[in-house]
Amino acid sequence: MNILDPYLEPQLRDLDRQGLLRRLVPLSRADGAAIVEGGRPFLNLSGNDYLGLAADRELAAQFYRRLDNDTILDLFGPGASASRLMTGNSGLYDRLESRLAELYGTGAALVFNSGYHCNSGILPALAGKEDLILADKLCHASLIDGMRLARAKMMRYRHLDYDQLADILRSTRHRHDRVFIVTESIFSMDGDVADLRRLTALKNRFQCVLYLDEAHAVGVLGPRGLGLAEQEGVTGDIELLIGTFGKALGGLGGFAVCSAVTAQYLINRARPLIYSTALPPVCLNWLLFVLERIPGLVEERRRLQRLAADLRRNLVNLGLTVGGASHIIPVIVGDSKRALRAADRLRQQGWWVTAVRPPTVPAHTARLRLSLSAAMDPGDLSLLPAQVAAAVQ
């Protein structure tokens, strides 16, 4: 037996007793919004393929039609084999970062291997011991990890409570060199939305740095799908706008939109970028391919919003406790074991629903997180509200 096992097994048993044990399940993709487990198809209500691009068979076929002997390494190579600062910095990076900067109208963009890498590496690189980080209480785990690694003092304000944030700024701003306000735009587990106009007003008033994680809004919100900041017309007021390619854009990686000086500094100080093997050419090539299509997917964005509004209304009409105001719809159950049972009942009926439990969400707020895709249609979801209501009883 491994010497660690006697220490770890009791903790695993305790997690299981509390209904908090996690397990990995092998799945395969099918067309549209379906996934397959054990040969059985399910409607995927737990993924983040918000525009249906990751499972678009024709789009994938169109992408690979450019594969030939001349492009197989430069555009479709499976590995980078080194970090960006060694020999892994494919010319595709420059094209992708230039296009992002052009779309967002900013000085620069910097691509990381994932959104997690952005959030765990940027704040530690920028925030020093004389600085303060003020973060929304429900910020994603990757942001929390980044804040813990930073040398700055950290405080967390109540979720979406900008009055409390203003009070903290009034009483503490003068004590710190720089203050970073950290928030998501669409919150990943609650589906609710930050008030960016209020936040940008506060950050301008108190001369703060605004760090905005748009992971669940990129591709989904804004006239060109650039996120909530574009929708609200405040992109120019945000020092660090973080996006991901791994959700609505159906790929792999994350990015920071920022000034050219900030990007150059991060190249020299952000450890996840410096010490990680670069993304392979095939991933970067796919991101460039998809990014050009995002601004034109206006109808897909509208369809997604209609689906979410209809489903949320139907769930509320059945007396369920439902949160959010986006394509992420949490149905609050409370008890973790009860949430697990509800998710299992829904899977038996062909819905792939995941129970989200502490510590991912606060204690006593276990939930079913229903995540929609533009690849669905109203008929796909017509039976869902009644079956969710039955499952959580």
Cβ proximity of 259 and 240 under 8 Å: no
Q: Active-site residue among 117, 140, 176, 203? A: 140
184 part of the active site:
yes
Spatial separation of the C-alpha atoms in residues 114 and 245, rounded to whole Å: 8
DSSP secondary structure of 340-386: HHHHHHHHHTTEE-EEE-TTSS-TT-EEEEEE--TT--HHHHTTHHH
Q: Active-site residue among 184, 230, 232, 300? A: 184
Q: Active-site residue among 176, 247, 285, 300? A: 247
214 part of the active site:
no
Q: Active-site residue among 131, 136, 213, 230? A: 213
Spatial separation of the C-alpha atoms in residues 191 and 193, rounded to whole Å: 7
Q: Give the 3-state secondary structure of residue 254.
A: strand
**Residue 162 structure tokens:** 């900008």
174 part of the active site:
no
DSSP secondary structure of 266-291: HHHH-HHHHHSBPPPHHHHHHHHHHH
What is each CA distance from 85 to 89, 189, 205, 277, 373, in whole angstroms? 7, 35, 38, 9, 37
129 part of the active site:
no
213 part of the active site:
yes
336 part of the active site:
no
Q: If we measure between CA atoms, which residue out of 151, 160, 209 comes closest to residue 186?
A: 160
- Phi, psi of 331, rounded to the nearest 5 degrees: -105, 110
Q: Active-site residue among 44, 46, 48, 336? A: 48
Please provide the size of the chain in residues: 393
247 part of the active site:
yes
Task: Please tell me what DSSP assigns to residue 235.
Answer: G
**Residue 3 structure tokens:** 């010497």
Q: Active-site residue among 216, 285, 300, 314? A: 216
Q: Active-site residue among 90, 114, 119, 188? A: 188
Q: Active-site residues: which are they?
A: 48, 140, 184, 188, 213, 216, 247
